[in-house]
Amino acid sequence: MLGKLFKHEWKATWKLMVIMNAAVLVLSALGAVFFYRNSAVVKPLFDSLERTKDGDTLYMLACMGYFMLLVLSICVLAVGCTIYFYVRFYRNLYTDQGYLMHTLPVTEHQLIISKTFVCIIWRIISALVVLTGFLVLMSSVFSEDFRLMDIIKEINKAIFDMGMIKGMIFLIILILGMLGKAIFTTFTGYTCISIGQLASKNKVLAAIGVYFGMRVVMQMITTFGSQYLAIIGMMAPDMWFEMFENNENAMIVFFGIAVVVEYLICGAMYMITHSVMQKRLNLE
């Protein structure tokens, strides 16, 4: 049943997500052509433009307009993806459509997992699309100085300079951290929407209130934690050095702890969402 839920969730969401991702890719590709000034096709065009003062202004305006459009499309993709899946979760499970979804022969776990899985896949795809677009654009703008292979080699070198095992651990923590962030963002919305359902009226408003409350608490914990570590580092640098020997070790340990905490919070949020759905469901 989980496979069927996943199939229908994918079918219901792919069109809009493809359009949003395609918009970012097309804009990045257009920008790449636009800025690739050594190209035999584009160079004469810009040369003729820049011979006049008006040409310069026009070129600058076009650049600014383009970058604004690109940044806007990336923001729409990032924020839009998040909001779209939050709204879909709410509409599909807590409004009239919930009468169908909650009377399917499936468990609440399957409902939550299928929606989370599709949302996370689209988050990963969107992140890759933005990264690809950015790299294509950069390699075009700085065509002489920007070499993608050089950057990959540099990253590779930095990781392996840590040592084979340490480098691999760091890489794994990095990937888990990025995945954890996607799960965390998804569950934050799902949990707030579910907690909002406990209000007798104005459930959406209650969900928004819970969301901001949760953000403030998380921010306070993060700030307090990082400040606490910084103070220890400043006040007892010897102890710091004895504990970790070098900065790389400290980075791996603290980053690892942060990732574990992130997954624990995700687990707690999952349980809250499931509990509301199973025990406190009350569709209007």
CA distances in angstroms from 144 to 38, 49, 175, listed in the order given: 10, 22, 31
CB of 92 to another protein, least distance (A): 8
- Span of 94-102, 152-160, 227-235, 240-248 interacting with another protein by CB under 8 A: 94-102
Task: Check if the beta carbon of residue 85 is closer than 8 Å to that of residue 189.
Answer: yes
Binding another protein (rule: CB under 8 A), the pick from 62, 221, 229, 283 is: 283
The yes or no reply on residue 282 touching another protein (CB under 8 A) is yes
In 3D space, the residue among 115, 113, 109 whose CA is nearest the CA of residue 89 turns out to be 115
The yes or no reply on residue 166 touching another protein (CB under 8 A) is no
First-residue to last-residue Cα distance in the chain: 26
The yes or no reply on residue 19 touching another protein (CB under 8 A) is no
Token pair for residue 76? 């729409």
- Tell the residue number behind the tokens 């990025």, with chain if given: 178
The yes or no reply on residue 121 touching another protein (CB under 8 A) is no
The yes or no reply on residue 148 touching another protein (CB under 8 A) is no
Binding another protein (rule: CB under 8 A), the pick from 100, 164, 165, 234 is: 100
Q: How many CA atoms lie within 13 A of 278 on its CB side?
A: 13
Q: Within positions 262 to 281, which residues make up the interface with another protein, using CB under 8 A?
A: 279-281
Q: Which of 48/278 has CB closer to another protein?
A: 278
Residue 273 CA to residue 108 CA, distance in Å, equals 9
Residue 193 CA to residue 112 CA, distance in Å, equals 13
Q: Which of 227/275 has CB closer to another protein?
A: 275
b/e per residue, 123-132, with b = 16+ CB within 10 A? beebbebbee
The yes or no reply on residue 201 touching another protein (CB under 8 A) is no
Binding another protein (rule: CB under 8 A), the pick from 41, 103, 145, 246 is: 103
Residue 275 CA to residue 215 CA, distance in Å, equals 21
Binding another protein (rule: CB under 8 A), the pick from 96, 150, 161, 245 is: 96
How many residues sit close enough to another protein to count as binding (CB under 8 A)?
Answer: 21
Q: Which of 247/282 has CB closer to another protein?
A: 282
Residue 65 CA to residue 34 CA, distance in Å, equals 12
Binding site for another protein (CB under 8 A): 1, 4, 7-8, 12, 96-100, 102-107, 279-283
